[in-house]
Structure 1
């Protein structure tokens, strides 16, 4: 049994009792009865005839070195070091460690009969006789080691030498292999044979043909395995690039102490197929925002593949309004039935009465990648409008926003794999009938995802959320309830003007015919006082700011730089098109448009092609004359994107809308209170009205 000497122990040394104050390597600092400190070598303290630890069992051995000193060496090496320790202590003190009190030294090691040199010679003779070659010089050398470094110094140095991972391989071959492995970092994954050919080529270029021979294949394979540890040289190329981009320093934990202190945003392709209006199943993109402090999924929006900057901007709007209860949702998902501080929040914002059990998180800082969606003027301006700081992640460093990345993985495993149309994470994990299994539209999939976030994610305990009082694992809703008391809550009521502020903008001239934007003309009677006028914004050479919704190009908003507010202007060819259309739909129609009869203007020709495209795609394929597949795909994508892209903000009173008649060219006005109120298409809290003339033109 080994006895340990610790700081604070009291020991007997030189006939007096001392207290151990410091243990440092092979030295011990003792404090005597009078308070005088003294430094003593550990071996000298142990070798003192009257050494003892006060209060220790007399039957215990008197060694003070712990076994853990040799925990990192082999068992045989540690055993030989302890044997040497016993021999050296016997040479210096006459008794081996652990000798019973009153035991007499062996004659050849009795300090009263022989001097130290005679005892060393006796020990060398004893070791040699027992089969351990040892001379007097060897014993003296081991004594010096023990005095300077204790038991650890007796370990065979050969066992501590660093072992090279490449053995005695030619350094020129090793350097060539390292360079070849570095070259294939950005290449597609190949075999060892390809790498061998590459190494041979490098050696020929550097040293000449045949100067440096390649080792045999078996030896070459061992060298490659030793030099490519952890690099995934022959595994997935994505993993190889991600591993190579890993920072060299230690990872820093991302943390936040209050809701909204840091929110991470990212976009990924969801592992689920949805059915578009053209009957084809395709994958969609998920853009989500996750609060670091509470792990709340603040907002999650599905879009057709090709997320725009305006999608990221409108995601902010969804974050800043309560999530409303939907028809068919269980009452247990209501905020009033949750652990959230419902009554306190309802006193601030009446919308909380009908809200679902998900907190509203107002971001202070948003961490995003460096994609063009998040570094666009539209997104950055939206964050500036809402008072949000944007912190881009380092290039190719997903670890900077690891929480949202991990959340995507959780959504795939906890939600997507249970949904019809699940594709798996890659082709190797994909079923053979995924497209036929897909049954949900994108709007339905959005509702399912929203319900799962409320019912599953927000109420599921998260191992990264621990109660500061009890250490219990909390759910995102519970963590928000804990932190909101200290951090407070700031609700933000978004209106129609706030929605317009989040849209992409440009600067245009207000001409006699209105405003031109990407080949379209927009006009309104409210623009009459500003035609051919200077906006007053000298930095933009007197141009007027125009905002547009890329998913609904039927109207634009012109900022009134003189009186404030926005002027809504409609597309002059709107009566020819009875359905909403997006910017990619417009571009597709312009590619197909040709000059109309009698020199019809390009805009009119494009409007006719656009109306026909949407009509044919909506009616379905005609017998023996199926519409172009691209037409159907574009139209289906347009309707899917427009179905849910707007946030549920507070609607404003519908203004009187004006447009030009396609027959008379005069201004006509429609009002919500008129008897000829047009049909309404409700979309996210807004009413879009279609002029009756436009409906007739589309029906013709």
Structure 2
């Protein structure tokens, strides 16, 4: 008996080799098995004797009886389902001797006992049903039994009642093929109506050899066929969506798991649906370029430009790794120290966060973008290499691969832009009238409002994509998600020095004249430009011009590279800087800063409401309120301190700046007005 390989099981219906013959298994009991026999109706063999026979072998075992597909049964009429279940009870008695639901220990009836062959039991069942008024033959019972063993209870139902219709009805396959070709030709073409597609289908059939023998169905049938073939293709809808679906990835959409801030970030540009007043006084639209962190949905930087260029993307990257400093007029609730962000712990690692607003500083590891020239430019790629950031363009025609930034830019239009004067709507059908006559913001003013809105609204807005897997019922805000992830992933700052920041700014090549350097109708000058005036820089490729770097989002100053003195940077200020608000220093910040508890949700909501109200009202041109004595002193000292360089902005205030000084008599301070691009710059104040 040792080493005997036994079958997994022997069931009724199996065929086995026993005693030199192939025999069918008619019935199986606890101690014996009933086999078919050529000489006798059946043969009962004890299991022990069967397994010990040397030539015993299960020749073939039918597949396991499938589970009843209940979902398919539901597609049948109720009467047919009841009939199939009725047949199942009788077939089970034929196969196993007992009907379903028999009491434990019940014995089979004599005509269905294990000593009866399968054929005999089928005859007995046919006779029983006929006597009960159901005229069936033994062959019918055998047919039902075989269908039940092959398909389960679904095999006992009449499938003629649920016969499936052809996918395209009675339409000839050649017509379907021709219409598919017409739909394929429309992918990259302009959008046309269904009438054109039906006409094109007929033309394709006429041009094919077999098309002459095909008879076109009726117009109604063709329109129904067109509706089936164009489901989800936007063939008669949006051309942009149609091309995106046709040329996008055809396989299943994968998902890149993201567990840390900065692990994957996405960047993109889109026109902002708002009219603004540009520097030359012309009313026009601008483009919004933004970067979003996938793990936290944080908008790390967003800038507005009349036309996005490669240098703008580089500056955006620099702003991403630079803290957003609090600005005059921002409420205390927007301060990082009053937010859910771990400000105290992060401040020990990065001193630049001392006066930062409640927007995380995230260093990118991988940036995903589309194939726009701005992001594939050498300038942007070199900036990524400088900051050691991986660069990954998406597949062409696959905007879903950067769906987070696509959705974010769309949310800016619905959550922010519609509150602004000059809002145009997403298309011409939604555009109002006489928008250019409204009290429009300038580009620089609108940039200030956008920066404040991101800190106040977006970073504190619960996001449906930020949920805890353990508690999916609770959504998080971007700041809350960042605070949770930074505890596990840590924070390593990439502090850009002043020279590093300037290197990322766009360059302009200009002549240094007696009055300074003129860039975009603004004049910049500095005493340190003395040795460069009317001189040749020595750069032959630029015909002796001097290299000047400008910050598109801060027009108060520029930086000129001195090619004659080891390429050092010389800072030059805007000549009419006294006509616009000057950059604030540490003293101004300390004056308005107070040690307040963490900002409440109500305070943040009030700040957002005030921001949207101020944005909707447009720029104010009335007189400024008279400042008090201390405000005048702080303003005067801030102005005397001069502009703040990027290097100095990255460090905290010194003890000398923040020390309280005794009252002193100061000269009268004239409040500074807003810059008017339409004003004559040569007009005497």
| TM-score grouping bracket, smaller chain normalisation | 0.5 to 0.7
Alignment-derived partner of residue 139 in structure 1: 141
Counterpart of 1:199 in structure 2 is 201
1:95 is aligned to 2:106: no
Q: Which whole-Å CA distance do the structure 1 matches of 2:579 and 2:378 have between them?
A: 29
1:480 to 479, 482, 496: 482
What RMSD over aligned residues (CA atoms) do the two structures have, in Å?
Answer: 5.0
- Confirm or deny: 8 A CA contact 1:273 1:438 kept in the other structure: no
Distance across 1 between alignment mates of 2:234 and 2:328: 50
Q: CA deviation at 1:279?
A: 6.3
- 1:330 equivalenced with 2:327 (yes/no): no
1:325 match: secondary structure: coil
Which whole-Å deviations, capped at 9, do the CAs of 1:188-234 have from their partners, x for residues lacking one? 32222111111111111113885432211011112112222221222
Q: CA deviation at 1:651?
A: 5.7
- Matches of residues 36-435 of structure 1 in structure 2 within 5 Å? 38-41=8-11, 69-71=70-72, 74-76=75-77, 78-100=81-103, 109-111=111-113, 115-124=117-126, 135-148=137-150, 150-151=152-153, 153-154=155-156, 163-207=165-209, 210-276=212-278, 281-304=283-306, 306-432=307-433, 434-435=435-436
- Conserved 8 A contact 1:507-1:543: no
User: Counterparts of 1:442-591 in structure 2 under 5 Å?
Assistant: 442-467=443-468, 472-504=474-506, 546=547, 548-549=549-550, 557-558=560-561, 560=563, 563-566=566-569
Q: Distance in 1 between matches of 2:112 and 2:256?
A: 66
Check whether the contact 1:505–1:545 (CA below 8 A) recurs between aligned residues: no
Distance 1:217 1:647, change over 3 A: farther
- Tell whether the 8 Å contact from 2:510 to 2:547 is kept in structure 1 after alignment: yes
Partners of 1:39 and 1:405 lie apart in 2 by: 60
Structure 2 unaligned regions, length at least 5: 15-24, 32-64, 581-642, 650-671, 675-679
3-state SS of the aligned residue for 1:38? coil
Q: Provide closer, same or farther for how the CA distance between residues 154 and 43 of structure 1 changes in structure 2, counting only shifts above 3 A.
A: farther
Alpha-carbon offset, residue 80 of structure 1: 4.5
> Is residue 176–residue 202 contact of structure 1 (8 Å, CA) maintained in 2?
yes
Give unmatched runs, 5+ long, in structure 1.
1-34, 52-63, 581-645, 653-680, 684-693
Change (3 A) 1:542 1:452: closer
Go from structure 1 to structure 2 and tell me whether the alpha carbon gap of 1:548 and 1:106 turns closer, same or farther (over 3 Å shift).
same
Q: How far does the alpha carbon of each residue in 1:168-192 deviate from its partner, in whole angstroms, 9 at most, with x for none?
A: 3211111100000111112232222
- Give the distance between the partners of 1:559 and 1:252, measured in 2 at CA: 51
Shift of 1:436: 4.8
SS at match of 2:208: helix
Which is worse superposed, 137-146 or 276-285? 276-285
- What secondary structure does 1:221 align onto? helix
Provide the aligned length of Structure 1 versus Structure 2.
Answer: 539
Change (3 A) 1:114 1:368: closer
Cα distance between partner residues in 2 of 1:277 and 1:159: 75
8 Å contact kept, 1:334–1:357: yes
Higher RCO (CA 8 Å, separation ≥ 6 residues):
2
- Secondary structure of the 1:371 match is coil
Equivalent residues of 2:275, 2:283 under 8 A apart: yes
Residue 395 to residue 442, structure 1, CA distance change in 2 (3 Å):
same
After superposition, the C-alpha distances for 1:438-484 in whole angstroms (9 at most, x for unaligned) are 64333332222222211221122222223477664322112211222
Matched residue, 1:622: none
Measured in 2, the distance between the counterparts of 1:87 and 1:409 equals: 64
TM-score by structure 1 length? Answer: 0.64
**Counterpart Cα distance in 1 of 2:579 and 2:334:** 35
SS in 1 for 2:222: helix
Comparing 356-365 and 149-158, the one that deviates more: 149-158
